[in-house]
Each structure stands twice: as C-alpha cells, then as structure tokens.
Amino acid sequence: MVKIECSICFDAFTTDQFRFLRCGHGFCVQCTDHLAMHNSCVLCKAPKRRGDAHPIFASFVLSESEEKAAQVTEGLRKIDANSSSSTVKASVQQLRDFLASNHTKKDLAQMLSVVADGLEERVSPLCSRVEELSGENEALKAKNKAVLLAYRKSLARVEEENGALRAAAARWEAVATLAQDRLHAQAISQQQPASTK
C-alpha cells in the first residue's frame, strides 16, 4: 500500500489517514487536527477556513519494483516464531528472486531495513525455544548414556553369572555321568556271576 510522508511529523501514512487543504498541501490527521486553530497553511501560508481539510480518494499504482519489494516485504513480515518452514522457505525464495532481479539499490536498502526492524523481534522467541530444546536434548542424551551404561553393566553381570552357572552345570553333569558309569559297571559285574551259573 502506498504511504505518504507528512511534512510536519515526517511519519508515513496511508491516504485515508491524510487530509488536504485547498492549496493542495496535505498533512496527517493528527497534524491537521493540531493545525485547526491556524487560519493559513503552514507550508505556503495560503488562507484556510474551518472545514477546508478533506480526504482524497485515489488508487495509487506501484511501480513494478515497488510492487515486488512490497510483496517480498509482506512475505518476510509474516515470518514469526510460529511460521512453518515452508512459509519461511517461500519468503526466502521470494527475497532471492528479488535480489537476483534488476531492482534499484534504494528499493533494496529500504526494504531490507524495514524487514530487519521486525524480524529479529519476531524470531527471537523461536531461537530461544531452539536453544531450550537443544539443552533438553543434551540432558536426554546424557540420561540415555547413563541408562545404557547401567544396562551394559548389568548385562555383563548376568553373563558372568550365567557363565558360572554353566560351569557348575557342566561340573554336575560330569559327576552325574561318572556316577552313572560306575553304577552301570557295578550292575554288569553283579550280573555276570549269575549268568555263568
């Protein structure tokens, strides 16, 4: 949207916030109100009467580069901590396209300063949230590591105990086999005299 600079307060306003005198000079609504007691224009001293100040109704057309700059600015202005990554990507792409095209340096400087004014303020909550999250992530990583370490230790202990149990079982099996062999041999030696009778 086109803005007009008030030559009294030097702020920029949209046309609906401007009032014009019969001499053709215009000022913002606030400054026009302050000038109500004057009976001449502060710029050209042309006499003015009460009720002279009037709005104008006109459609201003932006130049191509102004329009492009306005589009890019609008896109960048919308970026805040809640923006999706696709929105940010689209706006950055628009900016890249704008930078690649042949627009005047004045457009660029103006646009970028306007954008820089608000962007940091809007995005800084996001940055602190990212920092917060990466802090939480580090804490979780450390916790995970500790849990993993404890798990490995207890696993090693269980394996150790299993090994001892297996060794004991093997020993008992050997003893049992030996005892069985002896019993078997005994049984055979007891049977032999009877069978030779």
6 or 111: CB nearest Zn ion: 6
Residues that bind Zn ion (CB under 5 A): 6, 8-9, 23, 25, 28, 31, 41, 43-44, 46
19 or 68: CB nearest Zn ion: 19
Q: Rounded CA gap, 5 and 1, in Å?
A: 13
Q: How far is the CB of 6 from Zn ion (least distance, A)?
A: 3
Q: Work out the number of other CB atoms within 10 angstroms of the CB of residue 107.
A: 18
6 or 79: CB nearest Zn ion: 6
The pair of structure tokens assigned to 44 is: 């050209």
Q: How far is the CB of 7 from Zn ion (least distance, A)?
A: 8
Q: How far is the CB of 12 from Zn ion (least distance, A)?
A: 10
The pair of structure tokens assigned to 69 is: 């700059």
Q: Rounded CA gap, 197 and 171, in Å?
A: 41
Q: Which of 49, 45, 22, 55 is nearest to 36 (CA)?
A: 49
